[in-house]
Amino acid sequence: MEPPARATPSADRKLVVAFGDSLYAGYNLDQGQGLAPVLERALADRGLKAQVVNAGVSGDTTTAGRARLAFTLDGLPRKPDLMLVGLGGNDMLRGLSPQETRDNLDAILREAKARGIPVMLTGMLASPNMGADYAAAFNPIFPDLAHKYDAALYPFMLDGVLGERALLLPDGIHPNARGVTVIARRLAPIVAQNLKG
């Protein structure tokens, strides 16, 4: 496993780490089309100089993310000004226990807090085919943990994209380049607000 890119941000640039799964990693997209570079450009358009490090791994569950968190953070040039956390979608798609998802995300946020790293959660919602009981256990995880750790929350990562065929890859789940641009534009104001403190 390679640590994230070690380019050292200049003193006036904020450092953001995007720690998540395929939705962060830029699944099946060309270099420069994934969330990290597109969000970096969206922040620049708002006059905010930031380096967004892509720490997304396609297929990652919250268990896998929890296992690589310390390695990822220790591999950064300095403590990030903000960590975006986007995990849980693969747990849901595999029907893993929502309690396991909650416990893993709690551990990730606890570690970030211990290191003094502010967090922004990008939430996920259970697919309707998972059933009402699963959704009732899964969907509250993100708002609950955001409240517990005083973390910023973007309630649903695929808001405005899921169900829009023109914004998705043929699998109907992952955003294409246009979809990533929509997500980044929606995230940018919240990220910017959190970076400005």
Q: What is the pLDDT of residue 11?
A: 61
Position 12 pLDDT exceeds 90:
no
> What mean pLDDT value characterizes the chain?
94
Are 153 and 171 a contacting pair, CB within 8 Å?
A: no
6 has pLDDT over 60: no
State yes or no: is 97 an active-site residue: no
SS3 helix, strand, coil % of the chain, rounded to 5?
45, 15, 40
Q: Tens of pLDDT along 110-165?
A: 999 999 999 999 999 999 999 999 999 999 999 999 999 999 999 999 999 999 99
Identify the H or E element spanning 86.
strand 82-86
Mean pLDDT of 83-111: 98
pLDDT value of residue 178: 98
Known active-site residue 171: yes
Topology of the domain covering 14-195: Rossmann fold (3.40.50)
What pLDDT sits at residue 25? 96
In DSSP notation, 109-135 reads HHHHHHTT--EEEE-----GGG-HHHH
Q: Indicate the residue type of 27.
A: Y
Mean pLDDT, residues 164-170 taken together? 97
* Residue 33 or 12, more confident: 33
Of the listed 21, 22, 60, 91, which one is catalytic?
A: 22
Q: Which of 12, 30, 74, 171 is catalytic?
A: 171
Q: Cα(88)–Cα(63) distance, rounded to whole angstroms? A: 9
Q: Name which of 162, 191, 185 is nearest 38 in CA terms.
A: 185
Burial of 35 (0-12, 13-18, 19+ CB in 10 A): buried
The answer to whether residue 174 scores a pLDDT higher than 60 is: yes
Cα(114)–Cα(69) distance, rounded to whole angstroms? Answer: 13
Task: Express each pLDDT in 31-49 by its tens digit.
Answer: 999 999 999 999 999 999 9
pLDDT greater than 50 at residue 180: yes
For 14, 43, 50, 133, 187, the CA distances from 87, given in Å and listed in that order, are 23, 22, 22, 20, 16
Instruction: Give this prediction's pTM.
Output: 0.92
Q: Any bridge partners for residue 15, and if so which?
A: 51
Residues 6+ apart with CB under 8 A from 170: none
Mean pLDDT of 44-65: 97
pLDDT of res. 10: 58
Task: Determine whether 106 is an active site residue.
Answer: no
